[in-house]
Structure 1
Amino acid sequence: MTIYYEDIEVGETDSFGSYEVTAEELLEFAEQYDPQPFHTDPEAAAESQFGGLIASGWHTCSMTMRLLVDGQFNDSAAMGAKAIEELRFPQPVRPGDTLSVQTEILEKSVDSDARGTVRARTETRNQDGTLVLSMISHVMYARR
């Protein structure tokens, strides 16, 4: 069943996903997109303020997006996001972490007869429940 704008309720929450972070993926992403030493060099990372390799925040965003697509957007009439606000990385993601996502619908607004926007809070947590990403997104959904 496809979820449309009208099917989404303000205050609704959902939790889903399980994404295992590997050192190989972390290094591959960092080498291509964010080649800072604490993302790409285990020895330099060990000497950094982080005490070891950590994922790029942009990689954390990408892993979160994967969880959102698999957990919500694939079964919906989502049409992409038009804004992200309050993007934060309160704690780093490390190799061996397992991530999951929680969402809360904050607001809805009608854009046109064909589309509405849903404002939602997304929180990504590791296996210990530690918050590693928080953001508020504005996602467009088709209307019935």
Structure 2
Amino acid sequence: MAILERLAYVRAIGLDPKITERVSEWRFGQLAREGAVAPAFILDEYGPRHRRATLVAQLLELETRLSDAAVGMFDRLILGLFTKARKSVERRYQATAKEVANLMRMLSSTIEARMRNAIPSRRSTRRSAGAVCSPPSRWPPNSGGKPTKIRSSRHAINI
């Protein structure tokens, strides 16, 4: 805020920037440079018109620099706001991504638990691998191992 206060003070002096149009740009720059480097006792040795011209050039140059600094400060503030907003959106997105990952883990564990309960394992059926893979010794039961003829209404089938 000090920049804006200084700018308001310089503008309160009431110098019209259009007076620079009466002097060449090179001469105005030279007067402003003189005012920037010359100590007060040297300015006191100048004639009244030269001293006044040097001080006016220095004040108008100061007003320009303060205006540029105020615009730069405004740009940095706005850039900071946009950066803060962008980081806020990124944090919100990261939080959402973490929530989705947590939900997917919960869903995966729920599905695994449901699958374990829905599909019995071989150990829970208490049958050995040989019992599952080998054919029964007698088929059909009570046939004594001999082929059996089953009669249907039209055909005889050998089993």
The normalised TM-score by structure 1 is 0.22
Which one has a larger percent helix, Structure 1 or Structure 2?
2
TM-score under structure 2 length normalisation: 0.21
- Which structure exhibits the higher relative contact order, with contacts defined as CA atoms closer than 8 Å and separated by 6 or more residues? 1
Q: Looking at CA atoms only, which structure, 1 or 2, has the larger radius of gyration?
A: 2
